[in-house]
Amino acid sequence: MKKIMLILVVFGVLVLAGCSQTMHAVKHAKLQTNVNMSDTIFLDAEMLVKNRNIFVRVTNTSQMKEIAFENELLDLLKQKGYQITKDPSKAGYIIQANVLYMDYERKDLTADGMLAGGFGGAVGGALLGGDDAGKAVGAIIGATVGSIAGAAVGAIIHVDKFVGVVDVQIKERVEGGVTGEMTTEASQGTSTALKTTRKIKSDFQTYRTRIVSTATQTNIDKKKAAEVLSGILASQISGIF
């Protein structure tokens, strides 16, 4: 009798585990997207009226080289009445953007972690959020029930999050130009560092930010997700103008 009860309990747990994962997959059947900026950029309202020529350069250091991110951005800017120039010296605005990451979210590469890094920061971020105790319990369950029911269901149905990360620098031509100091620190050996400072003068005011967008869906199509995120990122940058 005890053996029968044990079998029924185990069977019930396996069924619940499979149902839980299936319900989670159904919840994310439709593509869900999100986008955030590390820093808000406010361009000068008067300069926005005067500076109608824009120079755009987009680079891509991610693994998804086929993304036409620059073309989408150019189209959106043209729709807003801006003239695209190939000569930066004639531009009222210079937009430089680099696609840093376009791939699945992982424990060492999370959307929150990459956003927290800010412009020029490391791409690798913190681990996925959650309660430590819950993780411990989840690990135990995953090693037993998950290895049987979860693996079987997960092999067919799984929820994925795709992440797109872009560092953006915008230069705005201002009347009278701007002055400031540039500081460089270079390491010379294990205990010595060289710090240099020089005064600079520029016709442009510089703004920088990092934009992180995510796409979550059950059995997500990687190429489709990358195209969707590219459109969102391009829209976010054009929305600054």
Domain map of the chain by residue range? 31-131+159-238
Integer Cα distance of 145 and 155 in angstroms:
15
Strands 193-218 and 83-84: unpaired
Task: With CA atoms as reference, report the closest residue to 212 among 9, 39, 75.
Answer: 39
Residue type, 19: C
Residue 213 · residue 34 · CB < 8 Å: yes
Which H helix or E strand runs over 199? strand 193-218
CA of 196: how far to CAs of 52, 64, 104, 109, in Å?
36, 37, 40, 34
CA distance 183 to 108: 31
**What is the radius of gyration, based on Cα positions, of the chain?**
24
- Burial string for 188-225 (b: 16+ CB within 10 Å, else e) reads eeeeeeeeeeeeeeeebbebbbbbbbbbbbbebeeeeb
Give the β-pairing of 53-60 and 93-104.
parallel
β-bridge pairing 53-60 and 193-218: unpaired
Distance from C-alpha of 235 to C-alpha of 237, rounded to nearest angstrom: 6
Query: What global pTM score does this model have?
Result: 0.71
Name the nearest CA neighbour of 101 among 122, 123, 85.
123
- Mind listing the pLDDT tens digit of every residue in the chain (241 residues)? 544 554 444 444 444 444 554 554 455 468 899 999 999 999 999 999 999 999 999 999 998 887 778 999 999 999 999 999 999 999 999 999 999 999 999 888 899 999 998 998 877 654 444 444 444 444 444 444 444 444 444 445 678 999 999 999 999 999 888 888 888 877 777 778 888 888 888 999 999 999 999 999 988 888 889 999 999 999 999 999 9
